[in-house]
Structures are given as C-alpha cells and as structure tokens.
Amino acid sequence: MIRLKTKVVIIGGGPAGLLLSQLLHTRDIESIILEQKTKAYVLGRIRAGILERGLVNLIEEAGCSNRMHAEGFVHNGTLVSYDKEIFRINFSKHTNADVMLYGQNEITRDLYEAREKTGGKIEFNVENVSVQDVKSATPFVEYTIAGTRHRINCDYVAGCDGFHGVSRRTIPRKNRREYEKIYPFGWLGILSETPPVNHELIYTNSAHGFALCSMRNANLSRFYIQCSLNDHPDNWTDAAFWRELKRRIPKVYADQLITGPSIEKSITPLRSFVTEPMQWGRLFLCGDAAHIVPPTGAKGLNTAASDVHYLYNGLKEFYETGSSKHLNLYSEKALQRVWKSERFSWWFTSLMHRAPNQSHFDLKIQNAELEFLRSSSAAQQVMAENYVGLPY
C-alpha cells in the first residue's frame, strides 16, 4: 500500500473540488484531489455556465479569473415570455449586480491549469474509494489506482463527488434524512455551433411547454424544450427539434433563429434533492453530493460554490487560528442557503412549465403569477435578487 499525508482530502475533481483546492492553496493549506475519471473526461462535460456574483468573487479570490473576464459574457438581465407577452427582468436595476455567462468546463479548465502550475496533487482514475474514521481526529481515505491500494491520512475530508459518489453514503443511513421531489417532465437539450438568438437568455412558458434559449459563447448555443420523461433523444431529428422550439418561443425570435446541426443532444430529468446533515464528523459534503436543483435558473454549480465558500472559510479559520467554530457550523450555514436556492429553483420551474396533471385552475393561477411578475417591480426585484445570487 502507498501511504500519503495531507491536510484535506477532496473527493471529486470537478469545479467544486478544484475551486476548494485552489482557494486552500492561496492560504498554504495542502490538499489532494481524488477524481474517478480522467482529466479529459471531466473537461468534456459541457454544462451550464451562469455564474452568480458570489461564484465570480470566489474565482477571483482563487486567482483564476483572467480568462473568465476576458471571454465571459456579462448578463444584466433576462427575458421571460408567456402567451404573447415578453418582458425583461433587469438585474442591474433591481440589485446593482449581474451574472457572468462562462462555461462550467471553462471554469474547470482554468482551475486545472492553476492547480497544475502550483504543483497541486490530483489523482485520476481512482476506484474503490473508502472514507474511514471521520468521527475521530485522524480520518483517512483509501482508494485504488491501477490495482494498487493507496491511503491518505488527513485532518478533514471534503466530499465533492456528486450524487452517486461515496461521500454521502459514508454518513450512516440512519443518521441522515433525504428530501426529494421528482418533476413529471424533462428537458430535451441540443448544443449547436450557431450564434445565440438573443444576447440574453429567453425563458418561455408556452401552451406547448417550456423552452429556453441559452448560449455558451458567440458561436455556440444551447437550446432546451420541455419533454416527457419517457422520451428519448433518438426520437428527435434536428429538424423536428427546431420546429418545436420555434413554435414555443416568441415569434420575433423564432423568425431570426439560426439553425444548424446539433453536436450534442440529450434529455435531462428534473428533480430537487437535499440530504441533511451536510457534515459528519470531519467529513463535509459539497455540491451534488448533498443537493440537486432543477436546472431552471442555473443554481446547481452556484449552490455548490456557496458550500465551498463556507467550507473554505471554516478550514481557513481552523488552520490560521485553531478555532473550529465555523467548521462546526458548516452544515447549518450551508443548508440555510441551500434551501433558499431550492425554493427559487422549485418556484421558477413551477412557474415556467406545463405539468401533465395541471387543471384549468392551476393554469389560471400560473398565468396570474406570470402577469404579476411582469407588472410588479417588487416581484421582479425578488426574482433578480435570487437570480444574481443571495449573499453568503
């Protein structure tokens, strides 16, 4: 067995784990990242990239913001449409803040580059990860690479390994409570090498279902339409997708939409999930390991970033002052913000989608709430505050 020692073991080499590791490095706190897949696999995952102001600040603090500011797109508003109405939520007007559109895979690329430049240790292709003795002062993590068993002795373990990772399951089932909501629809999404139909996102509630026009950069666009959970990407030709998208979004944008071959096509189920607590001894859960939100409003990565903020500051306090005060409060503080993000994602999802079992009364209420959002400055301010990100 190969034996190693570090201060913090981070399970998961996605953006949350990388960001935590790089932030710890800025305070000379050692960490080792364990990633199940290869670097190329992680970088190949093209995900949403709407960054709240809090995440932008964390990337700046980590010293990885140059390319984000050079190539990212600042959005100070978004469009919402329903029936024949189109209105804009002005983030800058209501919050004096904005969001940054910068691909999640690009954040990951920047963070990998930063960790490599500073000699950060990242183990890829790890298997059979086991987290041990986290209720003691001497936890350790074991794993296998190419048939060889490794052990890392550490002070703390950060579980950034997603919903299917080992970290959450390390907390005994009898000691955790899980909350879940499954939505009765999914998103059929395509990626195309075409310019965006609008410089800001367009969220649409139509009689035919939800649609979203998004972007990755000036020549790479992402589009979604609500679909059945029983559907399959193979059931949709590119032409059929474009036809359906055009009949759902406002005509002024449908008429100017530039279509092209899809380079990726997939269906995403929608669900809300939270596990409590997010801390077990010296093990801390971050991101999808602890919670999942529907993609409406792009809170997944941003909620993981708030977890990183609380954990990083707790670890910084411990190593610089010896106090465990904020580490002991991690689960409580993180969950307070998690549930607020869950509420916003649930509300926005419920507002913009047509559920299979909606009654005529439900539709009237939904339409009334959309009309209230369109006509009320106070309602728009509440949405804008949530969209740009609640304070940590």
Mean pLDDT of the chain, nearest integer: 96
Same domain, 112 and 230: no
| Residue 150: C-alpha distances to residues 32, 122, 128, 137, 158 (Å) | 12, 13, 10, 20, 18
| Residue 321: C-alpha distances to residues 43, 261, 325, 328 (Å) | 36, 56, 10, 14
What pLDDT is recorded for position 68?
A: 97
Domain assignment present for residue 197? The answer is: yes
Q: Tell me whether residue 25 is one of the annotated catalytic residues.
A: no
Domain assignment present for residue 93? The answer is: no
Domain assignment present for residue 82? The answer is: no
CATH number, residue 245? 3.30.9.10
Same domain, 170 and 283: yes
Domain assignment present for residue 87? The answer is: no
Domain assignment present for residue 265? The answer is: yes
Same domain, 13 and 34: yes
Q: Where does the pLDDT of residue 45 fall: very low under 50, low under 70, confident under 90, or very high at 90 and above?
A: confident
Pairing of strands 31-34, 8-11: parallel
Domain limits at 51?
2-76+98-180+271-348
**Catalytic pick from 75, 150, 291, 333?**
75
Residue 9 has pLDDT above 90, yes or no: yes
**Catalytic pick from 150, 294, 295, 330?**
295
**Catalytic pick from 112, 203, 253, 312?**
203
Same domain, 221 and 286: no
Q: Where does the pLDDT of residue 378 fall: very low under 50, low under 70, confident under 90, or very high at 90 and above?
A: very high
How many CB atoms sit inside 10 A of residue 39's CB?
16
**Cross-strand bridge partners of residue 81:** 86, 204
What pLDDT is recorded for position 48?
A: 66
Alpha helices (H) along 52-146: 53-61, 66-71, 91-95, 104-117
Same domain, 377 and 292: no
Scanning the structure block, which residue is given the tokens 């009334």? 368
Mean pLDDT of 247-252: 96
Domain assignment present for residue 214? The answer is: yes
Same domain, 341 and 284: yes
pLDDT digits (tens, 9 = 90+) for 199-232: 999 999 999 999 999 998 888 999 999 999 999 9
Q: Tell me whether residue 387 is one of the annotated catalytic residues.
A: yes
The number of distinct structural domains making up the chain is: 2
Domain assignment present for residue 195? The answer is: yes
Q: Where does the pLDDT of residue 46 fall: very low under 50, low under 70, confident under 90, or very high at 90 and above?
A: low
Residue 248 has pLDDT above 80, yes or no: yes
Domain assignment present for residue 118? The answer is: yes
Cα 75 from chain centre: 18
The tokens of 361 are what?
Answer: 């009364």
Mean pLDDT of 84-89: 95
Lowest mean pLDDT among 35-39, 328-332, 373-377: 35-39
What pLDDT is recorded for position 41?
A: 87
Same domain, 55 and 194: no
Scanning the structure block, which residue is given the tokens 């079992």? 357
**Catalytic pick from 102, 224, 253, 387?**
387
pLDDT digits (tens, 9 = 90+) for 257-305: 999 999 999 999 999 999 999 999 999 999 999 999 999 999 999 999 9
What pLDDT is recorded for position 271?
A: 97
Pairing of strands 202-206, 77-82: parallel
- 3-state secondary structure at position 270: strand
pLDDT digits (tens, 9 = 90+) for 119-151: 999 999 999 999 999 999 999 999 999 999 999
- What is the rounded CA–CA span in Å between residue 140 and residue 131? 6
Strands laid side by side in the 156-159 sheet: 121-123, 31-34, 8-11, 156-159, 283-285, 279-280
Same domain, 254 and 304: no
Same domain, 266 and 384: yes
Same domain, 358 and 240: yes
Percent of the chain whose predicted confidence (pLDDT) is above 90: 95
Residues 260, 194, 44, 10, CA torsion sign = negative
Q: Tell me whether residue 250 is one of the annotated catalytic residues.
A: no
Residue 142 near residue 129, CB atoms below 8 Å: yes
CATH number, residue 63? 3.50.50.60
Same domain, 241 and 309: no
**Catalytic pick from 25, 299, 309, 333?**
299
How many CB atoms sit inside 10 A of residue 38's CB?
12
pLDDT digits (tens, 9 = 90+) for 315-367: 999 999 999 999 999 999 999 999 999 999 999 999 999 999 999 999 999 99
Same domain, 46 and 102: yes
